[in-house]
Amino acid sequence: AALSGTLQAGSWLLLLMPPYETWECRPDTDSLRWSDCAQPIPTPQFAQHLKRTLSRDPQTLLWRQHQPFCWPSYPSRERWRPATGEPQPEQAAILSRLLEMPPGVATVIAARGRGKSALAGQFISQMAGTAIVTAPAKAATDILAAFAGERFCFMAPDALLSSEARADWLVVDEAAALPAPLLLQLVSRFPRILLITTVQGYEGTGRGFLLKFCARFPQLHRFTLCQPVRWAPGCPLENIVSEALIFDDEAFAQTPQGEIAISAFYQQAWGETPALPRAVYQLLSGAHYRTSPLDLRRMMDAPGQHFLQATTKNRVAGALWLVEEGGLSAELSRAVWCGFRRPRGNLVAQSLAAHGSDPLAATLVGRRVSRIAVHPARQREGIGQQLIACACVQAAQCDYLSVSFGYTPELWRFWQRCGFVLVRMGNHREASSGCYTAMALLPLSDAGKRLAQQEHRRLRRDADILTQWNGEAIPLAALGEQALNDEDWRELVGFAFAHRPLLTSLGCLHRLLQYSALPLPALRGRLEEKASDAELCARLHISGRKALLALQRAQAAQALIALDAGRTQRLRDVMPGGGDHAG
């Protein structure tokens, strides 16, 4: 997808394929990027899908080895007219409307290559007032910046939210890649807002943004760019890439009507009834930001994937995608807990060990919710909860379902209604989303219940400390227990004598400082004074973060030994390698 976007008009994209007859059986080295497998795996579903797509396309030249070359007769195509730097007719019409727009919200929506970013830059360069630009990543605004010139002013979403910055306009590039709650906060800060987004392709989230978020603004000024700027209309390369990577989002075109039926489907459906998984993928990618072609490849061929669909007659109204996690050996789980190992995959399972209190947490078996979506026209009907309930039945042999998400009150209410228990809150906002990462479990076995209760209680013990650290309340009742318990001691030894991160250990380190009479300047400076690493390095005359962290670990060890040297040594003895890895 990215490579095809680099070609100039009039170019050819040449793909050297594996042997056609054995393609489905050959290990695909690209699978190492997305399969979470240690070795390349065959990718039969994607190979068959791409072969079908290429063979059906009338403007694709397919030359098979050991077969005669045949040059097909292509239809005449419209000539490409290079952009001159001046606004195209569509852009000029929108520019004039924007320059006269009263306070409110406007959107410019288009497929890739239609000149959205150029239009926004031209608008900033011509407007009478001031503008601030924000986007999930500054690198994505290069074209906008080039057209805006010296009037370009960028602020990351999280920095903008925490600032008092004001301007006449807020311009949000790739707005669909930001969570709706964050967008709403940004929109409320400015009198005029321009939201730019891609309705298809790997850059945006498509109709989900258009139908759900924009519906909040009844007086919305909606603009669309249809004519491509970077290539001629009807470009065969754009068409074949869109078809191969399922960039179109026609799953949102019509409302699914009627009764809901929930059923599972499997990866083989891509070869047997491809319209079904295609519609599911369109719904999931249209509803989720950060969806990329790697997700399509993962959905088609990665092991350990599970899918549920909510259908009405022939249409998909909802979908759920889960991924198998956990089941690590006790030795590997302990090594993850200590911070010595980070095996592939297992996002939540690893986090439960690496950031939680139980060294054996990653031995439990779970299924993580990777994606869930309901068609905007069928939301608020409990379809998402029905999908989760069916997933629980299907995963009855597992210990839990899990989910990791950018925390917003609205999202958390949904997961709570489904029965999930909050077990972790991150300690910094993601720059791209402006949200803290939250993790939650829905226990299915006795072991899963014990783990969920233990981690939920730990989060409640740390709630006041995390609230102070994050500057945002944790959505649960804090426990007032400040005594060092067995879990604290184990975690503290893991920090002092292994590689557990400082921010993972915030709660128990705060409690240690309350019990210790030692000065511990590297720890107290960071945790009690919230001094930056640079400030502490200068104050303590040490060089770099690595040396500072080593000193903080050494001071934690000093405090533990002063409190109870025997207990400290016993806990060190049961750690992998005897706890001789600090530093």
Q: Does the residue 100 lie in any domain?
A: yes
Distance of CA 521 to the CA centre of its chain: 37
166-180 per-position pLDDT tens digit: 999 999 998 887 877
Q: What percent of the chain has pLDDT over 90?
A: 67
Residue 34 maps to a domain = no
Look at residue 212 and tell me if it is in a domain: yes
Query: Is residue 325 assigned to a domain?
Result: no
557 in a structural domain: yes
- Digit-coded pLDDT (tens) for 8-20: 777 889 999 999 8
Is residue 110, in this structure, part of any structural domain at all? yes
Please tell me the predicted confidence (pLDDT) of residue 404.
Answer: 95
Domain boundary residue, one of 224, 255, 284: 224
Strand segments (E) across 327-377:
365-374
Domain that includes residue 166, residue range: 89-224
Alpha carbon 457 to its chain centroid, in Å, reads 27
User: Average of pLDDT values for 453-479?
Assistant: 91
What pLDDT does 580 receive? 61
CATH number of the domain that residue 161 is part of: 3.40.50.300
User: What is the arithmetic mean of pLDDT over 87-113?
Assistant: 91
Domain boundary among 199, 224, 249: 224
Residue 291, pLDDT score: 75
Q: Is residue 57 assigned to a domain?
A: no
Mean pLDDT computed over 460-480 = 89
pLDDT digits (tens, 9 = 90+) for 40-51: 999 999 999 999
Backbone angles phi, psi at 321, to 5 degrees: -125, 125
Domain boundary among 203, 224, 245: 224
Per-residue pLDDT, 345: 87
- Where is mean pLDDT largest: 12-16, 71-75, 80-84, 385-389? 385-389
Q: What's the mean pLDDT when you consider all of the chain? A: 90
Query: Is residue 86 very low, low, confident or very high in pLDDT (cuts 50, 70, 90)?
Result: confident
Q: 128 near 169, Cβ under 8 Å?
A: no
pLDDT in tens, 325-335: 999 999 999 99
Q: How far apart are CA 253 and CA 298, in angstroms?
A: 25
Position with higher pLDDT, 204 vs 289: 289
DSSP-derived pairing of the beta strands 192-198 and 104-110? parallel
CA atoms within 13 A on the CB side of 98: 34
| Model confidence at 529: pLDDT above 90 | yes
The pLDDT tens digits for 15-37 are 999 998 999 999 999 999 999 99
Give a yes or no: residue 340 inside a domain.
no
- Count of domains observed in the chain: 2
Identify the band that residue 257 occupies on the pLDDT scale cut at 50, 70 and 90: very high
**Tens of pLDDT along 137-151?**
898 899 999 999 999
In this predicted model, what pLDDT tens digit does every residue of 200-234 receive, in sequence order? 654 445 556 666 677 788 889 999 998 888 888 88
CATH number at residue 556: 1.20.120.890
DSSP string, 15-74: --PPPGGGGGGSEEGGGGGTS--SS-EE-HHHHHHHHHHHHH-TT-----TTS------P
pLDDT tens, position by position, 393-448: 999 999 999 999 988 888 999 999 999 999 999 888 776 566 789 999 999 999 99
